[in-house]
Amino acid sequence: MSSASNSFLISPAARDALQTWLEHQRALNGAAENTITAYQGDLVDFLAFMTLHKADSQGLGALARISISDMRSWMAQTRSADVGPRSLARKLSAVKAFYRWLAEREGFEPTAVLSTRSPKFPKKLPRPLSVDAATAMIDRVGVQARQPWVAARDVAVLTLLWGCGLRISEALGLKGADAPLPDVLRIVGKGGKERIVPVLPAARDAVDDYLRVCPYPQESDAALFRAIRGGPLAARAIAQVMADARMQLGLPATATPHAMRHSFATHLLDAGGDLRAIQELLGHASLSTTQAYTAVDTARLMDVYNRTHPKAAG
């Protein structure tokens, strides 16, 4: 049954509460429309299931009495509909977010919902680009833009991602006052965590080349990287630039701005870099996050070990 048909099963009070929460997500939390649509579909399906499961209209009072058993039934039914663990985890996250808000507004205890455990699923391993592919990507974006200054800008951004391991938000958060780039950058990343990042000469030169041809004045408090009309450059614009380039190069859809950051870590590891030092450069709070970068290479190294090490050979 589709979400549209399921909406007729929801009580008016629950429907109104859901719409109010969605507006809250849109207005106060800045959720994107695709996110709002996903939330709405997930929660309509959840509320409709509870109506059918309980054989009664789920007004706000009934929603406050949902039990752990009810939650298990919903998860079992969702899994039986060929919903994978990753998608089920996303749906459960939406339900929990809605319930936190609803419980605070209506004054009930949401423990049964919030204590429901998310299904475990294997994390997707990063897919870094090879050195040749990363180089080809930067070369390609340097010739595909119609305006030379835009091409220089795109090269500078990608060089920062690959050469310094910056997140796209960190690169685009640089201000005019940060240029010319110093030998090291002080970056404030996720959770306000500060780190020091060495700047390669190639990255510094790429930014200098961009600034020389950028038609907009370098203002200390303005974004370093400008969009076509002079405003701050958006991450989606760089994502599109890379999408166009990877089509030309025949690279997979995983060749994204974040893949350039993954490549930074992997190429440092390939060159013998220390895992903890790379953790600091990337701004990872946990070493295990950095270790995810090594998973593919570890498998390759173990294969070499098993074929060549004297002990492995017997």
pLDDT digits (tens, 9 = 90+) for 58-70: 678 888 888 999 9
Query: If residue 224 lies in a helix (H) or strand (E), which one and from where to where?
Result: none
User: pLDDT value at position 289?
Assistant: 45
131-144 vs 235-249: helix axis angle to the nearest 10?
110
Query: What whole-number percentage of the chain has pLDDT above 90?
Result: 30
> Is 11's pLDDT higher than 50?
yes
Owner of token pair 């808000």:
101
Q: What is the pLDDT of residue 140?
A: 92
Residues in the chain: 314
Residues 261 and 288: their CA atoms lie apart, in Å, by 16
- The answer, yes or no, to whether residue 122 has pLDDT greater than 70, is no
> Where would I find the beta strands (DSSP E) of 109-237?
184-188, 194-198
CATH 1.10.150 domain residues, the chain: 3-114
Domain 3-114, classified CATH 1.10.150, yes or no: yes
Identity at 34, one-letter amino acid code = N
CB 269 within 8 A of CB 296: no
Of residues 138 and 277, the one with the higher pLDDT is: 138
Token pair 């991450």 in the structure block, residue: 235
- List where CATH 1.10.443.10 sits in the chain: 131-303
Query: Which residue's structure tokens are 């929460």?
Result: 21
CATH no., domain 131-303: 1.10.443.10
pLDDT surpasses 70 at 241: yes
What is the average pLDDT across 183-210? 80
pLDDT at 186: 81
Mean pLDDT of the chain: 79
Place 29 in a pLDDT band, splitting at 50, 70 and 90: low
Higher pLDDT, 225 or 59: 225
Rounded to 10 degrees, what is the CA torsion of 70, 71, 72, 77? 90
What is the distance between the alpha carbons of residues 73 and 68, in angstroms, rounded to a whole number? 9
Q: Can you give the C-alpha Rg of the chain in angstroms?
A: 25
* Beta strand pairing call for 194-198 and 184-188: antiparallel
Q: In this model, does residue 44 exceed pLDDT 80? A: yes
CB distance 178 to 160 below 8 Å: no
Residues labelled catalytic: 167, 190, 258, 261, 284, 293
Residue 197 — very low, low, confident or very high, per pLDDT cuts 50/70/90?
confident
At residue 170, does pLDDT exceed 50?
yes
Bigger pLDDT: 104 vs 282: 104
Of residues 128 and 5, the one with the higher pLDDT is: 128
Q: How confident is the model at residue 212 (pLDDT cuts 50, 70, 90)?
A: very high
**249-269 residue pLDDT tens:** 888 887 888 888 767 655 444
Q: How many percent of the chain have pLDDT more than 70?
A: 76
pTM over 0.85: no
User: 197, 166 in Cβ contact below 8 A?
Assistant: yes
Q: Please give the Cα distance from 257 to 238 (Å, whole number).
A: 7
**DSSP-assigned letter for residue 196:** E
